[in-house]
Amino acid sequence: MQVLLATSANSLLGGYYSSYLLLVVPFIILSFIAQTLVKSTFSKYSQVRSQSAYRGVEAARRLLNEQGLQHVMIERVPGQLSDHYSPREEVLRLSQSTYDSQSIAAIGVAAHEVGHAVQQKENYAPNAIRSALVGPANIGSSFGPYLAMIGLFIGSDTGRLVTMAGIILFSAAVLFYLVTLPVEFNASKRALVLVENSGILSAEEIKDTRKVLQAAALTYVASALTAFMSLLRLILLSRRRES
């Protein structure tokens, strides 16, 4: 009996590591490459001063006002590329690398965050879905994979139920990553239209700004793929355990 249990555990561990190497590691590497690319692209175009000489905060304020979002506050936050929009507080937070910079990269990032504020104003459906998934996604990403693996090692009917619960929890996190893609792509699309219509950036500057936003989008794609393949790995392991 002990030999059978040991063999089963070794088989499960072997499947765990081999599936991790085949399904997850390549996308972790892709995520690292994407993060490196966005940092290098931002660094390059953060050295290019915009013709309008708008600072990131000034561009954001003007774009917000033009969209009837005068009530949205702008705050400075520490770090680089830590920019984000908080829909609950209706506050747009710009990092130190964006707030005072007059670069086209900073203006592009600031405009992207304004795009999120406009999404909320217009009740953009994917954005609303993502907001609703924040809580379940946080729980799912924190506990789902571990719960699933515990269930796999337990075995029996109880183990299958625990594994299924973990997979369902983690599925909420994966769905969050997938819904994030259209939200981020749409925010970048809105950003380019906003800066073009406002005249803050010239047509030539918008081309370079698009490169910054496209590099940032790749990080979301890599994260979504990594999460999806991690979920697939758990499903395959659970089926292997039952067979």
192-231: pLDDT as tens digits: 999 999 999 999 999 999 999 998 888 898 888 888 888 8
pLDDT at 6 over 80: no
Nearest to 104 by CA among 193, 211, 185, 184: 211
Length of the chain: 243
Q: In what order do the strands lie in the sheet with 91-95?
A: 73-77, 91-95, 84-86
Instruction: Indicate whether this model's pTM tops 0.95.
Output: no
How does residue 4 score in pLDDT terms, banded at 50, 70 and 90?
very low
Ramachandran category for residue 202: left, alpha or beta (phi over 0 → left; psi -120 to 50 → alpha): beta
Q: Choose the weakest-confidence range: 45-49, 54-58, 124-128, 236-240.
A: 236-240
Residue 241 pLDDT: 66
Mean pLDDT of 41-57: 93
* pLDDT at 114 exceeding the cut of 80: yes
Active-site pick, 58, 113, 184, 205: 113
Share of the chain above pLDDT 90, in %: 61
* Per-residue pLDDT at 225: 87
pLDDT of amino acid 40? 86
The verdict on whether 113 is a catalytic residue reads yes
Quick one: average pLDDT of 25-34? 76
Q: Which residue has the higher pLDDT, 118 or 156?
A: 118
Q: What angle do CA 147, 153, 159 make, to 5 degrees?
A: 65
Q: State the residue for tokens 């183990």.
A: 159
Mean pLDDT of 24-32: 74
Q: Tell me the β-bridge partners of 74.
A: 92
